[in-house]
């Protein structure tokens, strides 16, 4: 499948490499594709990423990534997601599935950063993206764990933990569920329409506390039931 | 141990009964102890509760419950917690451990109710209670699961799921941890100071979605790691 990723930081790179590994053709979209050798925080340079990811991987503009993808992934920082997606282009995104894995965090007051999401109508990034791009099928997913867990859930606790999805389009959610299952997810819980993105994004405050406490070990939420 | 519970709805009753069963002397505090026969939503009348809970159980005012307890539990609705605790009396609470299990929810816009907590300084009920009662040792706990799971975690998934605590006083948290362990909790995660109450209270939006989806089956968060 052709997949475009908007955002070329560590999350975009890790997800992109794994999707290539699974046989997909990936264009990793970055703000300025000329900066191939710039070191990314916690990640490879884009030249290094392409070299490592292999022949089905390319780097392009946000717009090239969106035009390429049958599915598009929003892997930008939440604070710049709307601007990045506008730059990716409404017509390039029209009618497509957009998997929103971003979180809107405010690090201006120190660490841990504060989640901007609120439990109110339009209070999540997922809802705001859906409202801004009404003919895109937004599915919120994978925003509740770190990138290594996203792409290799089986490496943590034998895969016995939970991925959440939500969105307004049933067909889009079915496609995203299959994609998650192909990554190794066994417990994918559909929370309903895109307003459930609030609950998913509001896992970040406790996630960040746990991250501060548990350090670099992989962890994730599981819904015991 | 002498335990006072402020709030006599279903949560206060279920927690109170279980604490009596464990050998504690419990005063269940209610707004108007004269209304012994009023039916409570989803719970017993207070006369029925006392009859069922046994000889170490009594009903009294908020103030009587707070005066009685070496440990006091806030089991009111979050929206009325501060008023109820003021009515319980600052001097009755002074120097004591207050286990805050409440959540502040707004049901005025329909179901599911909206969580009022925000990820900002003072954004949680736990922080606001600590700020209003500076000489009380507030420990946030047990606000992230339903009452039956609170008091009998072993009945769900063999007890393999997580209870969170946070608060500013290490000794108070150690006492609350032991109390939780006596209820059957095996995985009690200390998230740090009372500001972590934001993360705990902000689990409610996704909890309410899961509740809507899973129905009446017991469930809880587990931190897989």
Q: What is the predicted ipTM? A: 0.96
Q: Quote the distance between the C-alpha of residue A46 and its chain's center.
A: 18
CA–CA dist B61, A70 (Å, integer): 63
pTM value is 0.97
**Which region among A81-90, A137-146, B35-44, B181-190 has the lowest average model confidence (pLDDT)?**
B35-44
CA–CA dist B82, A178 (Å, integer): 47
CA–CA dist B145, B223 (Å, integer): 14
pLDDT score for B41: 83
Distance from CA of B120 to the nearest CA of A (A): 7
Mean pLDDT for chain B overall: 97
> Mean pLDDT, to the nearest integer, of B136-150?
98
* B159 touches B185 (CB < 8 A): yes
* A117 touches A123 (CB < 8 A): yes
Q: Does B140 touch chain A (CB under 8 A)?
A: no
pLDDT score for B42: 84
**Which pLDDT tens digit goes with each residue over A153-207?**
999 999 999 999 999 999 999 999 999 999 999 999 999 999 999 999 999 999 9
CA–CA dist B128, A219 (Å, integer): 30
CA–CA dist A112, B217 (Å, integer): 34
CA–CA dist A119, B194 (Å, integer): 21
A105: nearest CA in chain B? B119
Q: Does B197 touch chain A (CB under 8 A)?
A: no
CA–CA dist A27, A20 (Å, integer): 10
pLDDT score for A39: 83
Using N-to-C axis directions, what is the helix angle for A81-88 and A125-132, rounded to 10°?
30
- In Å, the largest CA–CA distance within chain B is 49
Mean pLDDT for chain A overall: 97
pLDDT score for B215: 83
CA–CA dist B121, B108 (Å, integer): 25
> Mean pLDDT, to the nearest integer, of B193-204?
98
Instruction: Give me the residue label for tokens 């897989």.
Output: B224
Looking at chain A, the whole-number percentage of residues with pLDDT higher than 90 is 94
**Which pLDDT tens digit goes with each residue over A19-52?**
999 999 999 999 999 999 998 888 889 999 999 9
B164: nearest CA in chain A? A206
**Which region among A29-38, B160-169, B181-190 has the lowest average model confidence (pLDDT)?**
A29-38
Q: Quote the distance between the C-alpha of residue B79 and its chain's center.
A: 14
> Mean pLDDT, to the nearest integer, of A55-71?
97
> Mean pLDDT, to the nearest integer, of B61-68?
98
Structure tokens at B176: 């609350």
């Amino acid at each position: 499948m052709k997949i475009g990723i908007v955002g070329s930081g560590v999350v975009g790179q890790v997800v992109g490499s794994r999707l290539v590994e699974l046989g997909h053709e990936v264009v990793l979209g970055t703000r300025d594709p000329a900066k191939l050798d710039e070191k990314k925080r916690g990640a490879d340079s884009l030249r290094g990423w392409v070299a490592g990811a292999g022949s089905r991987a390319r780097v392009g503009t946000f717009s090239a990534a969106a035009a390429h993808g049958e599915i598009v992934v929003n892997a930008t920082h939440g604070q710049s997601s709307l601007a990045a997606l506008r730059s990716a282009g409404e017509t390039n995104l029209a009618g497509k599935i957009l998997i929103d894995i971003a979180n809107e965090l405010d690090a201006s007051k120190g660490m841990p950063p504060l989640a901007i999401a609120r439990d109110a109508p339009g209070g999540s990034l997922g809802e705001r993206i859906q409202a801004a791009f009404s003919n895109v099928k937004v599915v919120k997913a994978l925003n509740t764990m770190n990138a290594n867990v996203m792409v290799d859930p089986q490496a943590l606790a034998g895969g016995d933990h939970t991925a959440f999805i939500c969105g307004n389009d049933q067909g889009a959610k079915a496609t995203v569920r299959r994609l998650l299952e192909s990554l190794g997810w066994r417990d994918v819980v559909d929370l309903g329409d895109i307003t459930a993105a609030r609950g998913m994004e509001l896992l970040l405050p406790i996630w960040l506390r746990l991250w501060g406490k548990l350090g670099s070990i992989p962890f994730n939420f599981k819904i015991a039931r």
